């Protein structure tokens, strides 16, 4: 089984996030981190490879050069190889443009199974897989709470608004996994040391057979006009559990509001 796993670098969740008021793009000058949701996809890819006994797991990441740290992290966790789509021309890509570039990269891989995470923590789109699958002309199943590979098929339990469906898709196919599908492993020291030696390919837009204006802002079909403040929920109170008195403070607060 050859498994390709799409992973993204997002701003470090512990750093405050902001949108640049000039460019309307997310300020990516803060430290980056491998999208947590995608470590579940990676884990699932590794599990499938281990269970089927042979094959490889390829991490595919589109993002600026500095996202190389996240590429290395994916390798340290266990991916056998990585493809990094890095090109100035990709900056500002929306769904249409991103799916175009990723689909081209995935086409070159010809994996039996293409995995996605549940969502990118910075865009919360939770949609990219369906666009990529359409371009690859492959079946797609999303929101997978469990995944089994058998008899040339992927069997997925997915949650919708009505409970759980069971869907089967013939391989090759695209599956987007939920963040409860597994407990991702952490990179081991050996993994971290070994990551540097694993094959890593940096791919440009031209390498993918695309023109610069197929992707990035030029290839995008959406735009941003302005930023505003949302309505606030009113006064918020924040307390820390210092000296273990948080429970008392909560009771006081609830009593003050006549909620107990």
Partner 1 sequence: MPSLVYVEHHEGEPVKGSLGVLAKAAQLDGDVAAVLLGSGVEGLAERVGRHGAARVFVADDPALEAPLPQPRVDVLAKLVESEGFDTVLFGASVLAADVAAGLAARLDAGLNWDLVDLELVDGKLVGKRPALGDSVIVDVGWKGEPRLALVRSGTFEPVESGGGAEVSKVPVEIQDWSQQAVMVEQAHEESEGPSIEDADVIVAGGRGLGQAENFSLVEELAKALGGAVAATRAVVDAGWYPYATQVGQTGKTVAPKLYIACGISGAIQHKVGMQGSGTIVAINKDPNAPIFEYSDLAVVGDVHQIVPKLTELVREKRGA
Ligand X SMILES: Nc1ncnc2c1ncn2[C@@H]1O[C@H](COP(=O)(O)O)[C@@H](O)[C@H]1O
**Residue list 49-88, contact with ligand FAD (CB under 6 A):** none
Which residue in the set 22, 53, 190, 230 belongs to the binding site for partner 1 (CB under 8 A)? 230
Q: What is the rounded CA–CA span in Å between residue 112 and residue 114?
A: 7
Neighbouring residues of 169: CB distance < 8 A, sequence distance ≥ 6: 139, 140, 141, 153, 154, 156, 175
> In this complex, which beta carbon is closest to ligand FAD, that of residue 143 or of residue 182?
143
**Candidate list 1, 3, 4, 6; residue touching ligand X; CB under 6 A:** 6
CB 141 within 8 Å of CB 118: no
Instruction: Return the number of the residue (183 or 231) whose C-beta is nearest ligand X.
Output: 183
Closest listed residue to residue 15, CA positions, set 4, 3, 27: 27
The count of chain residues that interact with ligand FAD, using the rule CB under 6 A, is: 5
Token representation of residue 176 = 């987007």
Note whether 216 binds ligand X by CB under 6 A: no
Closest CA to 179 of 99, 103, 124, 136: 124
| Of 82 and 175, CB closest to partner 1 | 175
- Angle at which helices 68-77 and 36-52 cross, to 10°: 40
**Nearest residue by C-beta to ligand FAD?**
126
Per-residue tokens: 173: 């196919």
The rounded distance, in Å, linking the Cα atoms of 87 and 84 is: 9
CB of 81 or CB of 157, closer to partner 1: 157
Distance separating alpha carbons of residues 75 and 5, to the nearest angstrom? 11
Residue 69 CB, nearest approach to ligand FAD (Å): 22
Nearest residue to ligand X by CB is 117
Residue among 127 and 192 whose Cβ is closer to ligand FAD: 127
| Nearer CB in complex with ligand FAD: 126/192 | 126
* Integer CA distances (angstroms), 119 to 56, 129, 260, in order: 24, 10, 38
* Given 131, 147, 203, 208, the residue binding partner 1 (CB under 8 A): 131
Residue 140 contacts ligand X per CB under 6 A: no
Nearer to ligand FAD, 137 or 160 (CB): 160
Q: Which stretch binds partner 1 (CB under 8 A): 60-68, 105-113, 124-132, 194-202?
A: 124-132
Q: How far apart are CA 230 and CA 24, in angstroms?
A: 16
C-beta of residue 178 within 8 angstroms of C-beta of residue 146: no
Place of tokens 């949701």: 37
Does residue 185 bind partner 1 (CB under 8 A)? no
- Binding partner 1 (rule: CB under 8 A), the pick from 79, 133, 205, 210 is 133
Name the site residues for ligand X (rule: CB under 6 A). 6-8, 35, 37-38, 41, 60-63, 98, 102, 116-120, 123-128
């Amino acid at each position: 089984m050859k498994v390709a796993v799409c992973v993204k670098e997002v701003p470090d969740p512990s750093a405050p996030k902001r949108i640049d008021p000039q460019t309307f793009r997310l300020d990516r000058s803060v430290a980056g981190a491998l999208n947590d949701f995608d470590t579940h996809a990676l884990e699932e890819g590794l599990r499938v490879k281990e269970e089927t006994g042979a094959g490889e797991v390829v991490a595919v990441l589109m993002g600026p050069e500095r996202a190389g740290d996240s590429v290395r992290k994916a390798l340290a966790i266990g991916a056998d190889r990585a493809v990094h789509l890095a090109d100035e021309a990709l900056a500002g890509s929306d769904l249409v443009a991103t799916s175009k570039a990723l689909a081209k990269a995935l086409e070159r891989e010809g994996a039996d199974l293409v995995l996605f995470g549940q969502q990118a923590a910075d865009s919360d789109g939770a949609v990219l897989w369906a666009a990529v699958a359409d371009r690859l002309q492959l079946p797609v199943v999303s929101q997978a709470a469990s995944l089994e590979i058998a008899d040339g098929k992927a069997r997925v339990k997915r949650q919708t608004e009505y409970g759980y469906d069971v869907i089967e898709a013939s391989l090759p196919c695209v599956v987007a996994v939920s963040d409860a599908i597994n407990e991702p492993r952490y990179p081991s020291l050996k993994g971290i040391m070994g990551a540097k030696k694993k094959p890593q390919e940096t791919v440009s837009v031209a390498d993918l057979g695309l023109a610069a204006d197929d992707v990035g802002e030029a290839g995008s079909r959406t735009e941003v006009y302005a930023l505003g403040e949302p309505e606030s929920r009113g006064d918020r109170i924040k307390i820390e559990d210092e000296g273990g008195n948080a429970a008392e403070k909560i009771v006081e607060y609830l009593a003050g509001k006549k909620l107990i």
